Amino acid sequence: MLDAAVKVFSRRGFHAASMDEIAEDAGISKPMVYAYLGTKEELFVACLHREGTRMMQAIAGAAAPDLPADERLWRGLRAFFGFVGAHRDGWAVLYRQARGEQPFAGELATMRARLVEVVAGMLDHALRAEGREIAAIDLEVVAYALVGATESLADWLADHPDADPEKTATRMMNVAWLGAAQLLHGVTWRPPAD
């Protein structure tokens, strides 16, 4: 039943999706949807939660914390793109729909913040291993950029059904890790004085 909701929400968006359509798609009648899952808002939150936790679990399950940073990043990315490839509708709900709708944006932002924190922690760990340190805010921003780049590629993947998730993950590593590794080695870019 949640599957039907996710499907409809992903295609129509929260407001444009009608409970009638969701009910019809699920093969039951509207009062049943209300009986089992409450109001439209609660239904959407339920979708959000399910897809969100599924995704986080997929990533956490793949990126064991005792691996070296590049290995963790690679596995996490692979799991993430794999998830998006297999749950395109769920991803669309999370990324495209929930973002703009006021009541849910916070919910999503929290989840995203957790992800950013994990990435930032990974970078920090790797940095300390190299005997370096960066201001926490810089780390957070870099992590933010990496997460954003990844989400963007995921979106690209969602729109290209025949693309290979694994290959996309490799491409992402090429952009992300090469840059991050430079940073870890103390190489930085400075603006030209103009």
Partner DNA sequence: GCGTAACCCTACGCACGAGTAGGTATGCTC
Partner DNA sequence: GAGCATACCTACTCGTGCGTAGGGTTACGC
27: left (phi over 0), alpha (psi -120 to 50) or beta: left
Asked if 133 touches a copy of itself (CB under 8 A), the answer is no
Q: Quote the least distance from Cβ 61 to a copy of itself, whole Å.
A: 16
Judged by CB under 8 A, which of 84, 85, 150, 158 binds a copy of itself? 150
Going 50 to 51 to 52 to 55, the CA torsion angle's sign is positive
Q: Which of 66, 131, 162, 178 binds a copy of itself (CB under 8 A)?
A: 178
For 18-52, give the DSSP string.
Answer: -HHHHHHHHTS-HHHHHHHH-SHHHHHHHHHHHHH
Q: Is 154 within 8 Å of 84 (Cβ atoms)?
A: yes
Task: Name the residue nearer to DNA (CB basis): 41 or 133.
Answer: 41
Structure tokens at 175: 């952009």
Closer CB to DNA, 16 or 175, in the complex = 16
In the chain, % helix, strand, coil (3-state, to 5) comes to 75, 0, 25
What would the x/- binding string for DNA be over residues 22 to 51, using CB under 7 A?
A: ------xxxxx-x----xxx----------
The reply on whether position 65 binds a copy of itself by CB under 8 A is: no
For residue 120, which amino acid is it? A
Nearest alpha carbon to residue 74 among 124, 119, 133: 119
Q: Which of 74, 80, 81, 91 binds a copy of itself (CB under 8 A)?
A: 74
**Is the CB of 131 or the CB of 178 nearer to a copy of itself?**
178
* Interacting span for a copy of itself (CB under 8 A) from 21-29, 35-43, 49-57, 167-175: 167-175
Nearest distance from C-beta of residue 43 to a copy of itself, angstroms: 17
Distances 107 to 25, 46, 147, 149, 157 between C-alpha atoms, Å: 26, 11, 17, 21, 24
The residues that touch a copy of itself, with contacts defined as CB under 8 A, are 11-16, 71, 74, 96-97, 99-102, 105, 138, 141-142, 144-153, 155-156, 166, 168-180, 182-183, 187-192
The residues that touch DNA, with contacts defined as CB under 7 A, are 16-20, 28-32, 34, 39-41
